[in-house]
Structure 1
Amino acid sequence: RQMRRDYRKPLISFLNKKLLKLKEAGSSFADLNRDHYDTIIDDASVDL
């Protein structure tokens, strides 16, 4: 479990940072890739 947790924690933090950058970039760019990032978030939540 420790190995998996160590791998998942940085993965989630990386996704959060990327989402924050998208919000700062602008809603137009976020809307274009909204579906793509939503799927990644769903997969991360299922892994948890």
Structure 2
Amino acid sequence: MNIVYSILAIVFWALVLISLAGILKWTLEIILSVGIFGIFLILGVNALL
């Protein structure tokens, strides 16, 4: 039974780490796209002013 529990624990933590990595990747992509859009927005406002 201990072997089964340890295998389940390893699988569980692997899934947790994979999901955390995915969340971090999405967060970074959102921050990058918003940041690039914000830079263009600021440049456009400065050009108009």
TM-score under structure 2 length normalisation:
0.51
RMSD (Å), alpha carbons = 1.8
In 2: Cα distance, 1:13 partner to 1:6 partner: 11
Question: Runs of 5+ in structure 1 lacking a partner?
Answer: 30-48
Task: Tell me which stretches of 4 or more aligned residues in structure 1 moved more than 3 Å.
Answer: none
In 2: Cα distance, 1:3 partner to 1:10 partner: 11
Specify which structure has the bigger relative contact order, considering alpha-carbon pairs within 8 angstroms and separated by 6 or more residues: 1
Question: Which structure: larger Rg?
Answer: 2
Q: Which has the higher helix share?
A: 2
Give the number of equivalent residue pairs: 28
TM-score under structure 1 length normalisation:
0.52
Question: Runs of 5+ in structure 2 lacking a partner?
Answer: 31-49
